[in-house]
Structure 1
């Protein structure tokens, strides 16, 4: 394990600006709004800002203010990957260690704004020691050179990481792929887990004979998920089948990479029609930079290829907290989730927020984490 600091060469930032200024644009969509994807006028405004005003050094300094490390983890396999992570200890000695796991198209940027609130809360009894790793193939973590790095293997690597840090009892939280990895950690290596918290828990539907009547909000949530499956999953079909082909274009074109991600921040957030209503332009670009600077379009997309081919939903007996934000793409009825997560101790439906809850509603998410983990401390 060795200390790490992000230090992007100026030549890479100069190259980015040069590419942005030479963008070759398509024609506008034939309909208004975001129906066919990111509107041309917004893509051009975002690109001008990125090229002329955005300051990566601000983000770099913000993250470098926290302790960072890299260490090799093998996840129980024959090969290892260098994993980059933040490790911020609370000043309160009885703090509960907590590993926070992002997904796609997220990064550790999602959680940076929560660190101080989690490590230095008003009530010391709510304090956490925070560990925030970049997934293998994402951000400043290394890229797997062989296949096999799916959800279960990453979960095993996270258990190795927490053991290496000296934590024999800890909590885990995740959204998107982070929810799946956290659930896999709880089902496969539960011994050290005090509890898990998820914002996008998944479970199979009960057999028809075991289904209970659904409330109106539950019916609306399932209809929302059905519509999303029809019109919003093209990205996952491509990333789970041809991630390498997709990677060439996104790795070569910063605008392509930015729009591939920005569309999801529009579609998956509770943003009333525009992502910058809930997430600042700077923070959106901070997140994009974790993909562009590390050329991780293909390696991050490959997690879909690794994990969609053999999905697993094993029973979780570890105490579980669930917060389903209203614009999350998949929100399941509690009694469906109880079939998989057998010890749900906290279940809530906040009034605002979406898939990127840590960026959209950070205070709410912190409160949700504190509320649940009080039940297992």
Structure 2
């Protein structure tokens, strides 16, 4: 289509020089003796990354690698809001009958997370026994190289509307999704609002309530009388840690994102420390390299809407719910969604690790797989596990096999 345009990531030299200047002028806090990760990002780590980012890191090399896959941009307009230029990766499989898959990131992630699974999912498969996929991996509004709205009220309903309109604009009348974190929540919103288009979702994040005897009597009985599996027992401890020690960022972003935004927009060191804490704490001992971390943070620093914009999704989704059309706050997203098949990959070091009886309250769960390792950024940490699970869920014999009847789309 004419208004779907190729996009090339190209950060100008002025912004690169500004970043290096700001890094060179960084003022670091002191640190208590024997301070550990429990107090936040350690001083030595942050100094090491800042030095590398300023003196050794090559954004142009990273930029070229990011541009090695096809990027596009197109305007999408939600009801009541201005049109937004939405950036996305789109790779069409050459395999006949490939399944359109909308890959959605969360915070503090971005579109880059798809790169480790992109080639295997699009190029492999025979379209019958072994599925192949058309992949659409957008920068969510306010993230990466997508624009963000200027008006208040852009919440889960609008993120879902944007994603659904993008897929329809690409010609996909039916599609499936994959996501964790906000990608999970937006998948849930799509399941509630657009079940005629979004036919199934594969999630690597748990966000559900315990079963109730009033709404899920069988699951509630199972939850009451059956002992937790070893995975579920470990998950109780992990979820307790997050609720008691890891939710500080969430409270700030849900209530006062503007105040936090000044630090994120003005200081690359503050942005680095804020996000790197999550890259460390939410993964399963993943060996982050300086190159990976600097590229990850640079995408936020150079983002179209600015790094402060990304945290607004928390406020907009949790506040002023009564004035919203569909009122899809977190509790609304946890309601049963009929007609859309669900699959879950459980990773032990995610930030919420819930029992199977909980996630089965969300809808028709046709696939579940538990893994011995992995955390919140599963597609980046354990890409082979995500590839295997998605293929199993949508392949012949899988619970979501044949769920997409109309897989045609326009070549962008």
Q: Distance in 2 between matches of 1:166 and 1:123?
A: 22
Corresponding residue of 1:197: 202
Corresponding residue of 2:407: none
Return closer, same or farther for 1:101/1:170 CA change in 2, 3 Å cut-off. Answer: same
Greater RCO structure (CA 8 Å; 6+ sep): 2
Q: Distance in 2 between matches of 1:74 and 1:233?
A: 33
> Which stretch has the larger CA shift, 103-112 or 79-88?
79-88
> Which stretch has the larger CA shift, 307-316 or 157-166?
307-316
- Answer yes or no: is 1:323 the counterpart of 2:345: yes
Corresponding residue of 1:358: 379
- Deviation at residue 216 of structure 1 after TM alignment: 4.5
Tell me the secondary structure at the aligned position of residue 225 of structure 1.
helix
Q: Answer yes or no: is the 8 Å Cα contact 2:110–2:139 preserved in 1.
A: yes
Corresponding residue of 1:235: 249
TM-score by length of 2: 0.86
Structure 2 unmatched runs, 5+: 322-328, 403-412
Q: Distance in 2 between matches of 1:338 and 1:216?
A: 15
Corresponding residue of 1:20: 23
What do you get for the CA RMSD once the two structures are aligned? 1.6
Q: Distance in 2 between matches of 1:91 and 1:55?
A: 34
Structure 1 unmatched runs, 5+: none
Matches of residues 1-377 of structure 1 in structure 2 within 5 Å? 1-121=4-124, 123-124=126-127, 125-207=130-212, 210=220, 211-212=223-224, 213-217=226-230, 218-271=232-285, 275=286, 277=287, 279-294=288-303, 296-309=306-319, 310=321, 311=329, 312=332, 313-317=334-338, 318-341=340-363, 343-374=364-395, 375=398, 376-377=401-402
Q: Distance in 2 between matches of 1:76 and 1:370?
A: 35
Deviation track 1:68-104 (CA, whole Å, cap 9, x = no partner) reads 1112222333433221111111121321110000000
Q: Answer yes or no: is the 8 Å Cα contact 1:29–1:36 preserved in 2.
A: no
The total of aligned residue pairs comes to 371
Q: Answer yes or no: is the 8 Å Cα contact 2:335–2:361 preserved in 1.
A: no
- Deviation at residue 123 of structure 1 after TM alignment: 4.6
Q: Distance in 1 between matches of 2:85 and 2:361?
A: 36
Q: Distance in 2 between matches of 1:29 and 1:56?
A: 33
Q: Distance in 2 between matches of 1:39 and 1:345?
A: 42
Tell me the secondary structure at the aligned position of residue 337 of structure 2.
coil
Q: Distance in 1 between matches of 2:289 and 2:95?
A: 32
